[in-house]
Amino acid sequence: MTSRLRRSRRHILSAFATLVAFALAIVTIIPFLWMFDSSFAPTSVILGDADSLFPRPTTRDNYANIQSQFDFGRLFVNSFVVSSIRTVLIVYISALFGFVFAKFRFRGRDAVFVLLIATMMVPWPVLMLPLSDMMIRFQWVDTYVALIVPELVSAAGIFLFRQAMRAVPDQLLDSARIDGAGDARIFHSIMLPMCRNTVCALAILTFLASWDAYLWPYLMITNPRKQMLAVGLQQFSNQHGTDYGGMFAATSLAVLPMVVIYALFQRRFIEGMYDSVN
C-alpha cells in the first residue's frame, strides 16, 4: 500500500511539473507569436486593433520594404559570417584546451586552470577599455578581426570541454597510442566525436552570443556596410521608431536563424550541457 501511495505521489508530482512547464512555455512563446503575427500587419492596425491579441488584416509589405529602409540583407550576411567563423574558432580552441587540461599532466596545470576560470569573474565592461585601446594600437578598428580575436579563448568553453573529456576513459587513449595514433589524431578522431554533444552545446551558445552582440560591434565597426545586424536593427528603430510593422518583420527574420539552429540541435544541446556538469 505504501509503495502504491509513493508511486501515486510521484505520478501526481510529475503531472504537476509537466503542467507548470507547459504553462511557462506558453507564456514564453506568446510574445514571439504575437511579434511574428504583427509583422504581417500595418502599423495602424497594430496600434488601433485593441479588440484582438493578434491583429488583422495581414500584409506582406513590411517584409517587402525592409531592404529599402535599411540594408538588411548585407547586415544579415555580415552577422552570419562573423558569428559562424567566431563559433568555429572558439569551439575548436576550447576543445583543444579542454583536451590538454583533461588528459595531460604537467606542473602547474591545476593552478593555470583555476586562474583561467577566475577570468570568468571579470565583468565584460571592465575589459572593454583596455581591449579598445589594444584594437586601436593594432589598427584593427573597423575590421572583423576586432570582433573575432578578443574572445577566442573562452574560459566557459574550456571548462565545458574539460568536464566532458575527463569522462572519456584513459584506457581508450592508451589503446590508440599503442596502435600508433599521435595526440593530434586522438584529439580529432576520438575526443571530438565523443564530445559532439558538448560541441553542439557550446556552438549554439557561442553563435547566439555573437549573433546578439551589440555594444562591441557598435564600438569597433564604423563602416555602416560592415556593421552587424543587431546594431542595424537598433539604428533602424531609432530612425523609424513608429514603423512597428517593419520593426517586427526585421526582428522576426533576425530571430529565425537561432530558432532553426536550436530546433535542429536541441537534443544535443541539452545532452551536452548535462555531460559537462556531471
Give pLDDT tens digits for 219-270.
999 998 999 999 998 888 888 767 888 888 888 888 888 888 877 777 776 7
Rounded Cα distance between 58 and 65, Å, is 15
pLDDT at 52: 62
Mean pLDDT of 32-36: 84
The per-residue pLDDT for 209 is 92
Cell of 33: 507569436
How high is the mean pLDDT of the chain? 85
Please state, in angstroms and rounded to a whole number, the distance separating the CA atoms of residues 274 and 264: 18
Q: How confident is the model at residue 22 (pLDDT cuts 50, 70, 90)?
A: confident
255, exposed or middle or buried, with CB in 10 Å at 0-12, 13-18, 19+?
Answer: middle
Residue 143: partners with Cβ closer than 8 Å, 6 or more residues away: none
pLDDT above 80 (res 276): no
How much is the pLDDT for 125?
84
Q: Is the dihedral of CA 145, 146, 148, 151 positive or negative?
A: positive
Dihedral sign, Cα of residue 212, residue 214, residue 220, residue 221: positive
- The type of residue at 16 is F
CATH topology of domain 65-277: MetI-like fold (1.10.3720)
Alpha carbon dihedral 264, 267, 273, 276, in 10-degree steps, equals: -110
Q: Is the pLDDT of residue 8 over 80?
A: no
What confidence score (pLDDT) does residue 180 get?
Answer: 87
pLDDT at 5 over 70: no
Q: What is the pLDDT at residue 57?
A: 66
pLDDT of residue 50: 54
Residue 148 has what pLDDT?
94
pLDDT tens across 151-179, in order?
Answer: 899 999 999 999 889 988 889 888 989 88
**Averaged pLDDT, 118-128:** 87
State the Cα torsion 151-154-157-163 to the nearest 10°.
170
Count other Cβ atoms within 10 Å, centred on residue 65: 16
Q: Are the beta carbons of 207 and 258 closer than 8 angstroms?
A: yes
Residues across the chain: 278
| Model pLDDT for residues 52-101, shown as the tens digit of each residue | 666 666 777 888 888 777 888 899 999 999 999 999 999 999 999 999 99
Task: Give the E-state strand segments of the chain in sequence order.
Answer: none
69's grid cell? 529602409
Higher pLDDT, 95 or 17: 95
**219 φ/ψ angles, rounded to the nearest 5 degrees:** -80, -35
Can you give the pTM of this predicted structure? 0.85
- The pLDDT, as a whole number, for residue 61 is 81
Beta carbons of 256 and 171 less than 8 angstroms apart: no
Q: Is the pLDDT of residue 51 over 70?
A: no
- CA–CA dist 125, 71 (Å, integer): 29
Residue that is written with C-alpha cell 553563435 in the block? 207
